[in-house]
Structure 1
Amino acid sequence: MRPPLQNDVTKQNIEALSEFRFQLRLFLRFSETAARAEEITPLQYLLLLHVKGFPGRDWATIGELAERLQAAPNSAVALVSRCEAAGLVTRLQSAVDHRHVEVHLAARGERCLMNLVALHKIELNALRSVFSVSKLWRH
């Protein structure tokens, strides 16, 4: 990927991007701490979020989760196995295509996710202006 022309970048752009990255890291740290308070790992939280948040349905396949997590399929399988052992998710063979496994939230996973999403919603509302990317590139 070729970088854009540097003469289009201003000190204000750099300061805004620095602030954005700082606030993003604060949000991610908040998210990690909140997940641990629910007695799950940050990665388990992301898996629950992607299972329930998959567009158009309340479950996802291993491949879809691997893509959402930007992980190798075998890493996604290992994470699903750990989540299943912790009572957070269940696996079901797809009724449509028996080669695929559907990952669904278990009751404990649903409870953890709903608690965490409620906390994240509050935090994101507080950061709404910071995450307005359009203000990063004012000229």
Structure 2
Amino acid sequence: MDTPLEDADYAALAEFRHTIRRFLAFSEAHAARVGLTPQQHQALLAIRAAHPDQATVGHVAEQLVLKPHSATGLIDRLAALGLITRETTENDRRRALLRLTDKALGILEELSAAHRDEIQRLRPALSAILNQFD
């Protein structure tokens, strides 16, 4: 049986959610500065992090928790911005692999460096919060 929640648990959960929300606000602001929506930034990151043979619309849909048609629209917008290209596979012409353009790689590198720095800044606070759940 689970241990009953105490006041400290509620406080830790509230602080955890607050810290995560601060990070998301940071992320949203940085994406906007380079002309991206948070979802576009997240899609570029998902494509960059994927194994090259797994970077598909379906993968983006899964990573962003989107319905396939929503992910397709997102990918279409990224392609229109010159941030991704589609590459059909030889063995299945219906399957397209997504590739980041040099423009996207530059933007993503800038955003990712700033995000890594922010995570490192938040790490002590997050660690302290998470340690309260031991």
TM-score by length of 2: 0.91
| 1:90-125 superposed Cα distances (whole Å, 9 cap, x missing partner) | 111123432211111011111110000000000000
- Aligned residue-pair number: 133
Question: Percent identity, aligned pairs only?
Answer: 34
Equivalent residue number for residue 85 of structure 1? 80
Q: Is 1:75 matched up with 2:87? A: no
Structure 2 residue corresponding to 1:134, chosen from 127, 130, 134: 130
Alignment correspondent of 1:10 = 6
Aligned-residue offset at 1:137? 1.2
Higher helix share: 2
Unaligned 5+ segments in structure 1 are: none
Aligned to 2:112: 117
Which residue of the partner structure matches residue 27 of structure 1?
23
Are the equivalent residues in 2 in contact too, given 1:52–1:58 (CA < 8 A)? Answer: no
Tell me the distance in 1 between the aligned counterparts of 2:104 and 2:112: 12
Q: Which runs of 4+ in 1 moved over 4 A?
A: none
Counterpart CA distance in 2 for 1:13 and 1:60 is: 39
Contact 2:31 2:37 survives alignment (8 Å): yes
SS of equivalent to 1:8: coil
- RMSD over aligned CA atoms reads 1.7
1:51 corresponds to which letter in structure 2? Answer: I
TM, length-normalised to structure 1 = 0.88
Q: 1:45 aligns with which of 27, 41, 46?
A: 41
The residue identity in structure 1 corresponding to 2:113 is A
